[in-house]
Structure 1
């Protein structure tokens, strides 16, 4: 067995055992394809070294390698949403798919119809046109009854996406008066009381009341624009990362300043 084939087995075995960081390090150090592009029998290297009858140690190494399998998925819908980029979110029950686009539109689609190949963006259940700039993020209320959208126009809009007589305009709007405070991301808290958003200019994480749309505080600490937010599903803690990779975990009593 040559070194190249051995390195492939090492990378694949490390990845198979869950040591993805080590697999990536060996891949980079040896110039071996990463585990994501390798397709090897499970525990192939372990089988060779342990004398497992399932793997013939005398067989050419190439026999242990096979072309990456094609995932058993097929597109049910493929079309353009008419914008340069889009963000998407499924509702918790999987019944809706929300799409926010760079031209400020929010589409709410019937996920079951899409999976059945019967729907399209043009036949959206609802379409909201209130944003004046790109929609950067979306998040469903844990109940699935509301959707919040974050936009470069500095607004967070809350939409009714459940009732048969849903409003065509936002139920509530959060608007930050901070100069150039473009909303980049949005996330509901675990108890549904707050919505988190990020200030692209200052790096602050802004807390909003989900019922009154009033600001509840600004969490300061990032020095660069916040790139991602996630709220813990069972407690009041949340995590934020910025565009330089800084990660901060926030919890009640440890959140600096407003």
Structure 2
């Protein structure tokens, strides 16, 4: 509603509309006395009878009592012109649906991490007799530190007290509804089923049942869902059975609690990845006590067992290496893989959101997309008219943006190389480009000593940052979408507010120009590399240095974190991309 921004609901002034769903509008609100921000959800429909108002109050009071690290807190509630509203913690990282759009798959280790956090929230609520009723990726938000927060607790029930469910709401929720909910029954195991659907979708790219919402409802009630392997997902029998049990048609056939299911899922993944490691080891032969050879994929068994010098081969996830021995881990700065397909300096490297692909830009004028585990090349982009200096993946994993010597930023499709937009507002080379977490904005740094923030779809310029005194080589967004870090030939990394350009911190640990900077997924660490040939990892709030990596023999031109926050990839003028363990 256009008339709501600027109005006051409770102690919050509505600043702007940030989202709209089938049953509510969501506004960014600011506390009129404290100045803190929150999400204000204004529910459509009104409460006219005293009984309805009292029911809403009871439910809201129950939800407000939920205090858990992975639950979005209800701060306040009330009524405005008969319409209920809720004031909730603001989660700046968006939703898991935005991070993983429909039709995309998620790395197995990341799935386990998501499930552990959501299951903890649900178990906490279930122990307090609260059922969520609407678990789905749209209701899983990302907090300031990258943590998952389960939102809209009980909102489905609150909405029912204001009016009936609309077709729009039904279509969005049906894939995750448990069969018993279709029949009007609900309980803690209904939430387990819904989370199971999320896992099925993350692993296969789609929910278990296909068709119109009416057809999906009929299938849910009438039969068991197809197995993951029927959909072509490469999982073992144990893991498939764990997912299948959570999706059992009858609640009694599911796990006793959502906590039990989450633990069973993690254990199944651990066992499966361990079997893959053993199978891979049995197919190799020792190559001596040195670093394992990538040629012929020969790996010394004793190095695997010791947890030393393990390269990224065989498509194994972070969880595989962690589960091999809970007591052992990679040493910080340990090299895991070297990619050598470029014919010129490597100036840029970026991980895809799925953690399985990398894109690297080079002085050879190309951007190459390749598999992170094996180095296999998938695509070569050749539309720039000169050296490629910067590369960045969009959060949806479907688009890439690259900048270069030709003074442009080009936005293109990752799978096909089709060009979507060309940004031409810089007056010199574009040395750096970075997507905002919301996928709607880009920031680009240039030899013209500026960083420009602009809209990804239209190229409209939003802000120009001009605090550096020399060439800007690198730009990176924090996960919260509020901060940017930029590295420059002035030998500094500057951390600043994305909306206002206000400077927050200046890091001066390098002895020469800073060519690359990247935020860790947790938002607490930054990594920067430059002409001194090092990569330095440091605390974002204080500038305290945590590690100096010295594996390169020339200028470090690019650095990127893996989505798990445990690995880094760095590119250099020595012609290599090195993947190594983070502190």
Smaller-chain TM-score range? 0.5 to 0.7
Distance 1:151 1:208 in 2: 17
Q: Which residue of 1 aligns with 2:408?
A: 105
Please say if 1:23 is aligned against 2:294: no
In 2, are the aligned partners of 1:185 and 1:227 still within 8 Å (CA)? yes
Residues 157 and 251 of structure 1, relative CA distance in 2, 3 Å threshold:
closer
Residues 67-126 of structure 1, C-alpha deviation per residue, up to 9 Å, x if partnerless? xxxx89666555342113342222121121111011210111133443xxxx2xxxx321
Q: Displacement, 1:214? A: 3.1
Conserved? CA contact 2:395–2:435, under 8 Å = yes
5+ residue gaps, structure 2, are: 1-284, 304-373, 546-583
**Alpha carbons 1:190, 1:236 under 8 Å: kept:** no
Asked if structure 1 preserves the Cα contact closer than 8 Å seen for 2:505 and 2:541, the reply is no
- State how far apart, in whole Å, the 2-side matches of 1:100 and 1:144 are: 17
- CA deviation digits over 1:148-177, x for unaligned, max 9? 111111111112114xxx2x3311111125
8 Å Cα contact 1:13-1:45 kept in structure 2? no
Which structure shows the higher helix fraction?
2
What is aligned with 1:132?
427
Query: Please, which of 495, 503, 519 is the counterpart of residue 215 of structure 1?
Result: 503
Distance 1:45 1:250 in 2: 35
- 1:1-258, aligned counterparts within 5 Å? 12=287, 22-23=290-291, 35-36=293-294, 38-41=295-298, 43=300, 79-114=382-417, 119=418, 124-162=419-457, 166=458, 168-176=459-467, 178=469, 181-201=470-490, 203-246=491-534, 247-254=536-543
* CA drift at 1:193: 1.6
SS at match of 1:39: helix
What's the secondary structure of 1:213's corresponding residue? coil
CA contact (8 A) 1:101 1:134 kept: yes
Q: Give the whole-Å Cα distance in 2 for the aligned partners of 1:254 and 1:135.
A: 27
3-state SS in 2 of match to 1:98: strand
Secondary structure of 1:195 counterpart: strand
TM-score, normalised to structure 1, is: 0.63
State how far apart, in whole Å, the 1-side matches of 2:380 and 2:515 are: 29
1:200-254 C-alpha deviation (Å, 9 max, x unpaired):
13x1111121111233332222221123212121133222233223424124245
What is the CA–CA distance in structure 1 between the aligned matches of 2:435 and 2:453, rounded to whole Å?
Answer: 10
The separation in 2 between residues aligned to 1:93 and 1:161, in whole angstroms, is: 13
Gaps spanning 5+ residues in structure 1: where?
Answer: 1-8, 15-21, 25-34, 47-70
Q: Find the structure with the greater CA-based Rg.
A: 2
Aligned 8 A contact 2:450 2:468 in 1 = no
Q: Deviations over 1:180-217 (max 9, x none)?
A: x110111111322211011213x111112111123333
**2:291 alignment partner, SS class:** helix
**CA 1:86–1:218 in structure 2 vs 1: closer, same or farther (change >3 Å)?**
closer
